[in-house]
Amino acid sequence: MTLPPPVLSVTVTLPEWVASVVDFDAPYLTDRERMRLAIRLSRENVERAAGGPFGAAVFERVSGRLVAVGVNEVVPMGNSTLHAEMVAIQCAERRVRSYSLHESRVEHDLFTSCAPCAMCLGATLWSGVTRLVAAADREDAERAAFDEGPVFAESYAYLASRGITVVRGFLREEAVEVIELYRRTGGVAYNG
């Protein structure tokens, strides 16, 4: 079998529906508002059959300004790295025009509808966010046959040692409903 020529570029594009669901001009002042946006993104992604049951958003901590959002696009884009957190971080860095959110001199929070997998935890560390807030837990994703990789208590301790505050289980039940919806409707567990 002959392989096609190598791809020299990769473009990540959010689904068109995101513009109709997300108000980029509104301040998201509370953790509840911020997490509800991440969970809404995950639900819309499932209900529109646009990808996996995960959503994420990056905010400026103090102002509540929404910097970027991400939804899981692994299956539709054919790219195992396009988890919601990865997409949100990539879009946030693009928006602030830097490889690190630290460069903007503003503290950023990453809100995600599910605790990050091993890849997304690494990206969280290197992205420059200083606070990670997750809804559903690893076990919730694993019940839907997702493999979260090597994430340990030490992984979170390492983030804390690097100055990243971690909050887990925030609005967990709401996020679990979306994962269960995805499972019940025959969603693909692409890495299980």
Tokens 């959002």 label which residue?
69
What pLDDT, in 10s, does the model give residues 9-63?
889 999 999 999 999 999 999 999 999 999 999 999 999 999 999 999 999 999 9
- Domain containing 175 equals 34-182
**Active-site residue (options: 60, 73, 85, 148):** 85
- The answer to whether residue 1 sits within a structural domain is no
Half-sphere exposure of 144 (CA within 13 A, CB side): 27
- The answer to whether residue 4 sits within a structural domain is no
Instruction: Return the pLDDT at 57.
Output: 98
- The answer to whether residue 72 sits within a structural domain is yes
Mean pLDDT of the chain: 95
Half-sphere exposure of 178 (CA within 13 A, CB side): 31
Q: Which residue has the higher pLDDT, 104 or 179?
A: 179
Count of C-beta atoms within a 10 Å radius of residue 176:
22
- The answer to whether residue 28 sits within a structural domain is no
CATH number of the domain encompassing residue 82:
3.40.140.10
Active-site residue, 103 included: no
List beta partners, residue 112: 56, 134
- The answer to whether residue 176 sits within a structural domain is yes
Instruction: Return the pLDDT at 188.
Output: 87
Q: Which of 131, 127, 25, 108 is nearest to 60 (CA)?
A: 108
Q: Which of 118, 167, 169, 166 is nearest to 146 (CA)?
A: 118
The number of distinct structural domains making up the chain is: 1
Instruction: Return the pLDDT at 192.
Output: 55
- The answer to whether residue 113 sits within a structural domain is yes
